[in-house]
Amino acid sequence: MIRKILWLALLAMAVPAGAQAPAPDVIAVVHVAIDTSKPGVEISRHIYGQFAEHLGRGIYEGIWVGENSKIPNTHGYRKDVVAALKAIHVPNVRWPGGCFGDLYDWRDGIGPRAKRPVRVNVHWGGVTEDNSFGTHEFMNFSELIGADAYVSLNVGSLTPYDSAQWLEYMTSDSKSSLANERRRNGRAKPWNLHFVGIGNETWGCGGNMRSEYAADINRRYATFAGTPREMGSLKIASGSHDDNYDFAEAMMRDGGKFDGLSVHYYTVPRVFRDKGPATGFPESEWASTLAHALHIDEIVSKTAAIMDKYDPAKKIGLYVDEWGTWYDQEAGSHPGFLYQQSSLRDAEVAALSLNIFQRHSDRVKGANIAQMINVLQAMILTDKEKMVLTPTYHVFDMYQVFMGAVPYSAKVDGKTYREGVPMLDVSAARGKDGKLYLAMVNTDPSHAVQVITNLTGTAHGRVLTAFAMDAHNSFDAPNMVRPIPFKNSNTADGKLAFDMPA
C-alpha cells in the first residue's frame, strides 16, 4: 500500500541559490515505478560514515584547535564544527588513517601533550606532527559528536602486540597496567570501540604486500585484535581498490575471521596523474566525473559476487571505507594537503554514490567519505575561525532520512544524459517513521526532467540547486548552494509527478 503522505529528498541543479527551480526549458519525461511489495534489507546507518586522517588541515584546525585557541572551542574542539557534525548525526568516524595510520605509534599520542614526541608526517606534506590529537582526543571527539569510533590499526610497521596493547588501553575495564595508565591520563571508563580496522591499503602505502601475504597478515593481526566480547567490536579487513579484485578474493578465501571487508575507490574527472580542477571545468568533465562515480556500482557488484562465493549467508559486510572525489589540489594550498573546493558536482557524486550503497544494502554495511574536513571531498571547509558547509554536507543532511530505512526497487525508464549515465537516478525507501522517501538525482546540467511515478498521494521535500555546474559555497558567500523547499510536485494521469530542474 502506498501511503498518503510521501516525503522526498531531492537533488537537482541550475538555478540561483535560494530561488525556486525555474520553469524548465526542455522537459524530458522519465517514468519511475517503485515496487513496495518487496522490501529490501535495512539500510545501515553506517554508510553515511566519515573519515578523518592526520592529513593537511583535516584534524588540526578542522577539528582540533586546542584549549587556548581564540577560535571558540569546547576542550579544544571547535564549536562550529562540532555543532555542524552533530546536526547530520555522523554515525562513525574512521581514524587515524589512511596512509598515516601505518606509521602511527599510538603511544606517541597519550599522556601530557607537552611531553608527546614530534614526528614527521612523511605521507602528507612532510610537516611535523606534534601528536596533540591522539587517542583521548579522538575517542572523546567521537563521543562528543555522538559517532561510533572506527580505529584503524597499524599493521604495516608495528607488531600485533602493539595493536593488542592499544586496544586494551582503550577498551579494558580491568585493573591492568594499561587500563590504569588510561585512567591516570584522564579517562576512567573504557571507551566503546565499534570498528577495528586491520590495517589500510595493504596493497599500497599500508605495506605494499602481495594479496596472499595480506590475507595471512590479516589472520595474524585479527587474532590479537581483541576487545571485550560484550563490546561487539567489528573487525574490518583491508581489501581491494578500483578494478583490482585480487585482495578481495584472497582475503575472503584465506584472511581468517573478520566481520567486514573494505574497498577503496576515488572518483577523478580524468586520470589519477592528471585529475582535473575542482571548479572551472567544462561540461565534458562534469559528465566524466559522474560516469566515473557511477563506476563504483560495478566495483561493489563484483566485490559482492566474490563475497557471495565464500559467504553466501552475507554475514560479512562490505565497507567502502574510502570514497569520494579527488581533484588537483587548490592553487596556493600547501603541497600534500589535498585541499580542494567542493561544488554542486560533488553533491551529485555524493548522492549517486549513496544511492548505489542504498541499493546494495544487503552487502554494503558501511562507507566513509574521504574526508570529513578540509581534505578531498569534505563536508566542511575552514579558514582559521571561518567555517563553511559544502554542497556534499547538504546531501548528507538530506539523506539522514535513509538511516535505517527499508529500501524498495525503483525502476527508472527514460533517456540517458551520456553513455552510462542515466538522466535520472532514484533510490526509494520506507523511513523509520513509516514515510516513503525518494532520493532523485537529475544528472543533466542543462535539461529539466518531468518525473512521472506510479505513486499516489502528496509529497514534499527539499531540492539542492545552484546556478552553475561548479557553484560552491565560499567563506564570503556561504549559502550559494543549500537545500530549499521543493514545490514542483503535481499529478500526471492521476499519478504523482515532479518537475525537476536541470
Q: Which chain residues interact with ligand AHR by CB under 6 A? A: 53, 97-99, 200-201, 322, 370-371, 376
For residue 404, the Cα-to-chain-centroid distance in whole angstroms is 16
- Closest contact distance (angstroms) between CB of 272 and ligand AHR is 10
CB of 382 vs ligand AHR, minimal distance in Å: 18
For residue 331, the Cα-to-chain-centroid distance in whole angstroms is 25
Closest CA to 157 of 221, 240, 246: 221
Closest CB to ligand AHR among 142 and 371?
Answer: 371
C-alpha cell recorded at residue 197: 580496522
Report helix, strand or coil for 219: helix
**Distance in Å from the first CA to the final CA of the chain:** 31
Catalytic residue among 129, 137, 168, 201: 201
Smaller CB separation from ligand AHR, 100 or 417? 100
Phi and psi of 388, rounded to 5°? -135, 145
Q: How far is residue 327's CA from residue 329's CA, in Å, rounded to a whole number?
A: 6
Q: Catalytic residue at 201?
A: yes
Least separation in angstroms between residue 408's CB and ligand AHR is: 33
Instruction: Give alpha helix (H) positions in 245-327.
Output: 246-254, 283-294, 296-310
249 tagged catalytic: no
Catalytic residue among 53, 61, 137, 322: 322
Q: Are 380 and 387 in contact (CB under 8 A)?
A: yes
CB of 322 to ligand AHR, least distance (A): 6
Paired strand residues for 464: 483
C-alpha closest to that of 36 among 431, 381, 419, 361? 431
Q: To the nearest whole angstrom, how small is the minimum distance from the Cβ of residue 321 to ligand AHR?
A: 9
Which CB, 98 or 276, lies closer to ligand AHR? Answer: 98
Q: Minimal distance in Å, beta carbon 446 to ligand AHR?
A: 32
Nearer to ligand AHR, 53 or 249 (CB): 53
Closest to ligand AHR by CB, 195 vs 486, is 195
Give the residue with the Cβ less far from ligand AHR, 171 or 240. Answer: 240
Which residue carries 523547499 as its cell? 485
Q: Name the closest residue to ligand AHR (Cβ).
A: 98
The C-alpha atoms of residue 296 and residue 314 are separated, in whole angstroms, by 20
Q: Which helix (H) or strand (E) holds 395?
A: helix 391-398
Q: Are strands 386-389 and 128-129 parallel, antiparallel or unpaired?
A: unpaired
Classified as helix, coil or strand, 400 is helix
Q: How far is the CB of 3 from ligand AHR (least distance, A)?
A: 41
Report in angstroms how near the CB of residue 323 gets to ligand AHR at its nearest: 10
44 contacts 317 by C-beta, under 8 angstroms: yes
Residue among 97 and 407 whose Cβ is closer to ligand AHR: 97
Residues 368, 357 contacting (CB under 8 angstroms): no
Q: Which runs of E-coded beta strand occur in 371-479? A: 380-383, 386-389, 406-413, 416-418, 421-422, 424-430, 436-442, 448-453, 458-464
Cα 54 to the chain's mean position, in Å? 17
Residue type, 459: A
Nearer to ligand AHR, 121 or 131 (CB): 121
Q: Which residues are catalytic?
A: 201, 322
